[in-house]
Homo-oligomer: A and B are copies of this chain.
Amino acid sequence: MAKKIVIIGGVAGGATAATRLRRLSEEDEIILLEKGEYISFANCGLPYHVGEVIKERESLLLQTVAGMSSQYGLDVRNFSEVTAIHPTEKTVTVTNHKTGKVYDESFDELIISTGAKAIVPAIDGLENAKNVFSLRNIPDMDLIKTYITRNKVKTATVIGGGFIGLEMMENLSELGINVQLVEMAPQVMPNIDFEMAQMLHAQINMHGVKLILNDGLKELRNNGHELVLTSGQVLATDMTILSIGVLPENTLAKQCGIELGFKGGIKVDTQMRTNFAHIYAIGDVIEVTDSVSGEATNIPLAWPANRQGRLVADIINGLPAKYPGTQGTSVAKVFELTAASTGNSERILKKQGIEYQAIHIHPNSHAGYYPGAAPIALKLLFAQNGKILGAQAIGTEGVAKRIDVISTAMKFGAKAPDLAAIELAYAPPYSSAKDPVNMLGYTADNIVNGKVKTFQWSEVDSLKEQGAYFLDVREDFELLTGRIGGSVEIPLNQLRQHLVEVPKDQTIYVYCQVGLRGYNAARILMQHGYSVKNLDGGYKTYKNSKY
A404-B301 Cα distance, complex, nearest whole Å: 23
Chain B residues contacting A302 (CB-CB under 8 Å) are 426, 433
User: Interface centre among A326, A332, A425, A442, by most B CB within 10 Å?
Assistant: A425
In the complex, per-residue mask of A333-374: 1 if CB is within 8 Å of any chain B CB, else 0: 100001010100000000000000000000000011111000
Chain B residues whose CB sits within 8 angstroms of the CB of A494 once the complex forms: 70
Docked complex Cα distance between A67 and B431 (Å): 24
- Residues of B near A84 (CB, < 8 A) are none
Residues on B with C-beta less than 8 A from A543 are none
Q: Given the complex of chains A and B, what is the CA–CA distance between A302 and B428 in angstroms?
A: 11
Verify B449–A367 contact, CB threshold 8 A: no
A413 within 8 A of B: yes
Instruction: Identify the stretch in A41-49, A273-281, A459-467 within 8 Å (CB) of chain B at 4 or more residues.
Output: A41-49
CB-CB under 8 A from A528, the residues of chain B are: 26
> Size band of the A side of the interface?
35 or more
Q: Is A469 close to B, CB under 8 A?
A: no
The answer to whether B425 touches A421 (Cβ under 8 A) is no
Q: Mark A125-164, 1 if CB is under 8 A from B, else 0.
A: 0000000000000000000000000000000000000010
- Chain B CB within 8 A of A71 CB: yes
Is residue A3 contacting chain B, with contact meaning CB distance below 8 A?
no
- Is A116 part of the contact surface with B, judged by Cβ < 8 Å? no
Segment 409-457 of A: residues with Cβ below 8 Å from B: 409, 411-414, 418, 420-431, 433-435, 438, 442, 449, 451
Q: State whether A370 touches B48 (Cβ < 8 A).
A: yes
- Chain A residues 447-498 with CB under 8 Å of chain B are 449, 451, 492-494, 496
Least CB distance, A538 to chain B, in whole angstroms? 16
Sample of 15 more A-B contacts, CB < 8 Å, known A54-B369, A331-B427: A23-B523, A24-B523, A26-B528, A42-B369, A45-B369, A53-B370, A54-B428, A70-B493, A302-B433, A303-B433, A327-B423, A333-B427, A404-B435, A408-B408, A408-B414
